[in-house]
Structure 1
Amino acid sequence: MIPSLLTPVLVSIGVFVGVIVCGILLMRSLFLFVTVQGGSMAPTLKPQDHVLVLRKGMTRKLKKDAIVLLKNLSEQHLLPSPEASFIKRIVAIEGETYIDTSSEKLPESLDEYHTLDELGRRHWRIPSGKVFVCGDNRVVSRDSRMWGPVSLSDIEGVVIHQFRRRERVSVPENPITPSLLAIGQQAPDFNLLDTHGEYVRLQDTRGQRLLLLFVAYNRLAHTMLPPILTKATHIASKGVTVLIMCDGSLERARLLQKDFAITLPVLVASQSQTSVYTDYQIYGNPCYYVIDEEGHVAEADIANAHSWQWD
């Protein structure tokens, strides 16, 4: 009698367990849960960030600007760790040409696809079945600039979600980590030259909502700035005053404005010639401040098109 009563219960438990197991197997066949290691994708992805990766077989087409997970490349590219896998951004797809505009001396590429132009810049023509990938933080990134274009078969999947960062236990402050001004603090005044030879002061914007965007014209700019400048232009269209603070000389500020077709005011904010970077406690680009109508800091953070909303 008792066994006959237990049979339906056991069957139900078995079905439930089977559904759970099948669900887990299905999830693993579709997705990968990955913890970011290293800083090559900073500030988009930081060490110990968690991301969800959709396996490549589930995507119709790999698009430019997608962040992808690369499988073990150690054998093909003589990388130091046999377990190495990488998260990089696709910066060029088949049929396109990628030009390395960096001024720093980079390790010699291990591939046969690159050529040099009259200025000594390396060009890669991306062949069929391959893509060119780079880290957002190219100062420390090992990527296609060293390996050459990577095969589509080397890509395991596409990052589709970045899990919200949790507050971490406080640690002693790193001297190279940005320590921005506190919210509510009076924003320091400045008197800077713009690219048209006119001086602009913070006091001139009193009564207006103001966005200060601190950038530099360097080898990261062509990857990081376009989406940030698009957002800044959108904010300006809503009536917010936007000032682009360019770290460098007047000539570099004008090159920045020309190369990115910037219609917003660009100010010369050289760290070596002005105190504005010290006054605003900025130790890296790009960063931003939102200043309210009374001249107080309303918001401040690293400027990144994937991790903040100015709206």
Structure 2
Amino acid sequence: MGQTKEKNEILEWIKAIIIALIFFFIIKFFFVTPVAVSGESMMPTIEDGERLIVNKIGYKLGDLDRYDVIVFQDSDNKKLIKRVIGLPREHIAYKDKQLYVNGEPQKEPYLSNLNKYHNAGLTEDFTLEEYTNQDKIPEGYVFVLGDNRQNSKDSRMIGLIPMDEIIGTTNFVWWPWNEIGAIE
């Protein structure tokens, strides 16, 4: 009788572990996934080596917003983390370190710490046409930049990002422990 009870207990543990693994993979595959930051393109907002949680479904239920931080894969299948600057049907321009969307100046509060981090200018002057040959961002695409504009592989080099290639949005650092918290 003791052996049967032990066998039942072992089977229950195995079932619990299998169910937990199934839930883990369902959540990871459909809802959230971790991503490691590699590089300095989002500094000082996001540091090299930090680990983020990517929400894979949230933006699909709603719209992407300007300044959302997104994760997508480039043509080399490397995951990139950038900030959405321009949305469909918008014109983007920078003049004298000021972002203009459809001719209207925009605030970029997340860049305030960059002045302390980087002595050079934040962003060179440019227009959407100079990098994309388009006067407005087409439907289904976004224009992205890294916060560390002087050291970022972004829409200025790789072009507009198709929305269907976005893995998800991120706004939470979970590692290292001393950096846990929301992303501005």
User: Common fold, TM-score beyond 0.5?
Assistant: yes
For residues 125 and 58 of structure 2, the distance between their equivalents in structure 1, rounded to whole angstroms, comes to: 37
Contact 1:109/1:147 (<8 A) preserved? no
CA RMSD of aligned residues (A): 2.8
| Counterpart residue type for residue 68 of structure 2 | A
Where does residue 63 of structure 1 map in the other structure? 65
CA distance in 2 between partners of 1:127 and 1:56 (Å):
23
Q: 2:80 aligns with which of 82, 86, 104?
A: 86
CA–CA distance in structure 2, aligned partners of residues 44 and 151 of structure 1: 24
Rounded Cα–Cα distance in structure 2 between residues aligned with 1:8 and 1:86: 48
2:173 alignment counterpart = 162
- Deviation string 1:42-74 (CA, Å, 9 cap, x unpaired) is 110011111110114764122211000011x22
2:16 aligned partner, one-letter code = F
CA deviation after TM superposition for structure 1 residue 22, in Å = 1.8
Query: Among 89, 96, 101, which residue is 1:95 paired with?
Result: 89
Asked if the contact 1:111/1:147 (under 8 Å) is kept, the reply is: no
For residue 146 of structure 1, the aligned residue among 147, 150, 157 is 157
State whether residues 51 and 162 of structure 1, in contact with CA within 8 Å, keep that contact through their aligned partners in structure 2: yes
The 1:165/1:9 distance shift into structure 2, 3 A limit, reads closer
Partner SS, residue 9 of structure 1? helix
* CA displacement at 1:104 relative to structure 2: 6.4
How many residues of Structure 1 are paired with residues of Structure 2 in the alignment? Answer: 151
CA contact (8 A) 1:109 1:148 kept: no
Quick check: which has more Rg, 1 or 2?
1
Give the TM-score, by structure 2 length: 0.70
Distance apart, 1:142 and its partner CA: 1.4
1:71-110 Cα deviation digits (max 9, x unpaired): 1x22xxxxxxx342210000111111111335469xx966
% identical aligned pairs: 24
TM-score calculated relative to the size of structure 1: 0.43
Three-state SS of the structure 2 residue aligned to 1:22 is helix
How many Å separate the matches in 2 of 1:94 and 1:154? 15
AA aligned opposite 1:4: T
**Correspondence 1:51 to 2:62:** no
Larger relative CO (CA 8 A, sep 6+): 1 or 2? Answer: 2
| Other structure's SS at 2:167 match | strand
What's the counterpart of residue 181 of structure 1?
A: none
Higher fraction of helix:
2
Name which of structure 1's ranges 1-10 and 29-38 shifts more when overlaid on structure 2: 1-10
Give, in whole Å, the separation in 2 of the partners of 1:12 and 1:40: 48
Secondary structure, counterpart of 1:4 in structure 2: helix
State the partner residue of 1:12.
Answer: 12
